[in-house]
Structure 1
């Protein structure tokens, strides 16, 4: 029967008694040259004997770590694993998931076995080449290159050696965003289809009010004031990652000070990235009427969501996009790309369209920033309330442009 002993802190090793009555000490003994983790165990007749051997192993590990930091003898994989452990504590969950994907799918498989101090510029370019060969978009390659740059910069700050010429390798190049805004005519055609749906308000909120998808999906009725014709955008709907993949019991991976409210499974209401993201914006008269009608027939949501799924649970981003595509295709609206090909407009392009409509109608930049939450220039509630009449007039002009009148 194995006897349990007091649990030690992670990384300091452990001591226990096995079924044969032997005392066993176990400690992580670093990584191989290719970055694979392994453990070393010691056996003895007495607990004191294995504790002494464990203490010596810990001393050697500490000395080796100090040496590795001085000479840079640590693999990219080993450092990337440590970097991710720290990264999860300081960045938003979505950012961490994106960083982890770049590390685990591209950086480690390509150059994880190499030592930091032995990296060459060609090694950095190998990561981009691997992604390019896989047909990934330029934006993805740029993102992975930025993550790799951050990993190397943080390694230097930690005391490891990384050649400067490696850190100076340029990225995969700049490209133009494929996102476009729709013309007023195309927006009107989409809305002509959308207004035939019970949840028409969801799509007007995107095309006219400029709500981000996560803002719309996280909007609750308590944040909508139909009498004052305003809505408060203070939360967004996000699915937070579990600490262990697909294991809810492991808890959620969130940074220090991260504010969230769980509403169903992995779905949480989270605060916007910036203070400007939290704002109060006016509702155009058409939207007030539409929301009033929707409130009477909308699915009952335990969390009070304005646009939930049919069963009242949170509407996923995938379902939201799928419904948008259905509307756009029914409206026969497409976007022409620089290479001459065409595609269905993206849901996020509805937000771009809202900004374009405001600009086309001569609305000033300050008002547009206030409506879309693009800047901290309107970060206080006092300013928002003082400028509400101007924002309301601007949105009503956009609504009329696409054929929405009371």
Structure 2
């Protein structure tokens, strides 16, 4: 008797299943991890329906390959989302992972978590946007949520789950108009005048003049400040990495594999800026060199050699730093906060001020990008090496516009119960 031939991989047939009372189509799909025959099945109420579904599945396998073993067609968005967010800390920086997790838990799961991946429609994607807009949030939030959802679904496809391609093509909502802009030169002068009354006033000059990010300022150490040559090396920024197990200090930290880091204390680490452009050397104008030299004589001692630490020398949190920034605006009376008018400037707007002043001074955008370490602040022409001479001249021009001219004097004095007070003698504006 001739031996019965097995169907070849990728082929299939249709037969009646009396237990299910349905016609079942079967595709031979190699072997399982246990060494047994692997089959992919479809079904239909009629033989013709089963054959049609079988052909559709064969075409899909031919175009996209076999689904990963164990990837059930009945997996819901919520189940896959739970698996996906546990992977994110190993794929991206913790701030990005935390943002993605928040979007998924707050909007995606409550809105479409019950839906099966293989049954998603464009209407489901739009329903997430509608939920966000309906709660009173901006289209920018909705746009970010859709970016995260799309990434999550693309990763599901890579894992072998069936996700209709059309749900990946839904246009994202337009980004809302952002009222964040450069701080006016008048307000910048007022804030720098207020900063002059604080011993650590150079912290805020670094934001306006050098365009340094918050984490870059808080993570700056004295060994990266070269006062002799007048440069700052931006190689690290302060970051609070989360514990692997929440509030369990013995559990270690969630760190993206391969990310260089230096542990300071508790959750505080020094990590590199997010992009290669962010790692840069910024020239110091004479005013800033003098300001930092004076501050170094009176700044709180820090075990980690931090330039702008807390009074006890520990890393300064972004919350503490932001509150000091708001207090500076209140002191300078540049922000009026009431029920109808006004808002405080965000700290990041100081960087926009730096960029605007540099561009208004006619500085080439490539030089601006090199100083700020961010190619999207101005139209990018490609990151190129920029001469320190050009960058120094550019910052000299900005310093002059801010009234921080080389003829200013800075002195550190000791009086009474206040052992250290930095006095700025600013030229008339």
**Is the shorter-chain TM-score for this pair beyond 0.5, marking a shared fold?**
yes
Find the aligned partners of 2:235 and 2:39 in 1 and give their Cα distance.
49
Judge conservation of contact 2:140–2:174 (CA < 8 Å) in 1: no
For the residues of structure 2 that align with 1:187 and 1:59, how far apart are their CA atoms? Answer: 71
Q: Secondary structure at the residue paired with 2:252?
A: strand
Q: Report the Cα offset of residue 118 of structure 1.
A: 1.5
1:62-141 to 2 correspondences below 5 Å: 69=71, 72-141=73-142
Seen in structure 2, the aligned counterparts of structure 1 residues 335 and 117 have a Cα distance that, compared at 3 Å, is: farther
CA–CA distance in structure 2, aligned partners of residues 104 and 245 of structure 1: 17
Distance apart, 1:378 and its partner CA: 5.2
Q: Which residue of 2 aligns with 1:348?
A: 348
> 1:315: how far off?
0.6
Pairwise CA distance, 1:314: 0.6
SS at match of 2:255: coil
The 1:335–1:90 alpha-carbon spacing in structure 2 relative to 1, beyond 3 Å, is: farther
Partner of 1:274: 275
Say if 1:185 and 1:402, in contact at 8 Å, map to a contact too. no
Helix, strand or coil: the match of 1:144?
A: helix
* Residue 146 of structure 2: aligned partner: 145
After superposition, the C-alpha distances for 1:338-371 in whole angstroms (9 at most, x for unaligned) are: xx94211111000110111111111111211111
The CA deviation at 1:95 is 0.8
2:233 maps to what in 1? 232
Larger radius of gyration: 2
- State the 1:246 CA deviation: 2.1
Distance verdict in 2 for CA 1:63–1:259, change over 3 Å: farther
Instruction: Render the CA deviation track for 1:3-61: whole Å, top value 9, x for unaligned.
Output: xxxxxxxxxxxxxxxxxxxxxxxxxxxxxxxxxxxxxxxxxxxxxxxxxxxxxxx999x
Residue 365 of structure 1 aligns with which residue?
A: 365
**1:36-75 aligned within 5 A:** 69=71, 72-75=73-76
| Secondary structure in 2 matching 1:117 | helix
What residue number does 1:402 align with?
A: 402
For 2:120 and 2:209, the matched residues in 1 are separated by 50
User: Which residue in 1 is equivalent to 2:180?
Assistant: 179
Report SS of the residue matched to 2:239. strand
Q: Deviations over 1:277-298 (max 9, x none)?
A: 1111111111111111111111
Cα offsets for 1:232-267 (capped at 9, x unmatched): 000010111211222222211122211111111111
CA gap of 1:252–1:59, structure 2 versus 1, over 3 A, is: farther
How far residue 79 of structure 1 moved from its aligned partner, in angstroms, is 1.2
For 2:351, what is the secondary structure of its paired residue?
Answer: helix
Equivalence for 2:56: none
Aligned-residue offset at 1:81: 2.1
Q: Distance in 1 between matches of 2:95 and 2:203?
A: 24
Query: Between Structure 1 and Structure 2, how many residues are aligned?
Result: 341
Higher helix share goes to which structure?
A: 1
Cα 1:307/1:137, change in 2 over 3 Å: farther
Q: Which residue of 1 aligns with 2:300?
A: 299
Q: Matches of 2:391 and 2:172 in 1, distance apart?
A: 40
Instruction: Describe the SS at the equivalent of 1:345.
Output: coil
Task: Tell me how far apart the structure 2 counterparts of residues 226 and 130 of structure 1 sit (CA, whole Å).
Answer: 53
Range moving further from structure 2, 391-400 or 340-349 = 340-349
Offset from partner CA, 1:132-153 (integer Å, 9 cap, x none): 2333343222211100011111
**Whole-Å separation in 2 of the counterparts to 1:178 and 1:314:** 31
Q: Which runs of 5+ in 1 are unaligned?
A: 1-57
Question: Which digits, 9 at most, give the CA deviation of each residue in 1:175-214, with x for residues without a partner?
Answer: 2233210122221111111111101110000001100111
TM-score (norm 1): 0.78
In the TM superposition, what whole-angstrom CA distance separates every residue of 1:69-91 from its partner, at most 9, and x where no partner exists? Answer: 3x632111111122223322221
| TM-score in terms of structure 2 length | 0.74
Instruction: Give the Å deviation of 1:67.
Output: 6.7
The alignment partner of 2:269 has SS state of strand
- 1:254 is aligned to 255
- Answer yes or no: is the 8 Å Cα contact 2:237–2:273 preserved in 1: yes
Is the 1:97–1:241 Cα contact (8 Å) retained in structure 2? no
| 2-structure distance, mates of 1:168, 1:210 | 38
In the alignment, is the contact (CA less than 8 A) between 1:182 and 1:349 conserved in 2?
yes
Counterpart position of 1:208:
209
Task: Tell whether the 8 Å contact from 2:68 to 2:161 is kept in structure 1 after alignment.
Answer: no
| 135-144 vs 270-279, which moves further | 135-144
Q: What SS does structure 1 have at the residue aligned with 2:90?
A: coil
Q: Distance in 2 between matches of 1:63 and 1:201?
A: 69
